[in-house]
Amino acid sequence: MKLIYNNKTIDVTFTHNPLIMKNKVMKIYYAYYIIDCNRYSSIKNRYKVDVIMVDKDNIIVSYQKDMHLNTVHSHKKAKNCIITPVNYFDNIKKGERIIIEGDNNVL
C-alpha cells in the first residue's frame, strides 16, 4: 500500500491502535494510518513525527509538522490520523486530498 501526496509516495501501514508509537518504535521509515482516530498524543514517543488529520474522504483537516514530544494534536472533524517521518511531505495544505494506492477494501 502506498500513500501519495504532492507526487511523493511512502509505504503505509493501517492500524486501529493509536498507541502504536509508544515505547516500541525507535524510528519510522513509512507512514502509519490510524483508523478512527481524531486525537494523537506524542506522550512517550521516542522522537518527533509529523501528524496529518484527515476526514473520511482523506481530505486534510489539520496537521502538525515536527510534532514536539509529549504534546497532543486533535481536530473534531478528523476521522483518521496519519503519522509520517518528520518533514517527509512538503507544503501540506488543508483541504487537499491524500491518495491511498492499493487495496480499496482497507477503509
Cβ within 8 Å of residue 66, ≥6 positions away: 48, 50, 86, 87
- Any idea where the domains of the chain sit in the sequence? 2-100
SS3 content of the chain, % helix, strand, coil (to 5): 0, 45, 55
Per-chain mean pLDDT for the chain: 88
Residue 49 CA: distances (Å) to CA of 41, 85, 102: 11, 5, 24
Query: What was the pLDDT predicted at 8?
Result: 93
What is the model's pTM? 0.88
Query: What was the pLDDT predicted at 23?
Result: 56
pLDDT, tens digit, 9 for 90 and up, residues 32-65: 999 999 999 888 777 889 999 999 999 999 999 9
CATH number 1.20.58 given to 2-100: no
Query: What was the pLDDT predicted at 25?
Result: 60
Query: What was the pLDDT predicted at 24?
Result: 62
Question: What DSSP state is assigned to residue 43?
Answer: T
**Which position has the higher pLDDT, 19 or 15?**
15
Residue 90 CA: distances (Å) to CA of 33, 64, 65, 87: 18, 12, 10, 7
- The label of the residue with cell 494510518 reads 33
Average confidence (pLDDT) over 56-76: 92
Query: What was the pLDDT predicted at 99?
Result: 93
Distance of alpha carbon 36 from alpha carbon 16, whole angstroms: 7
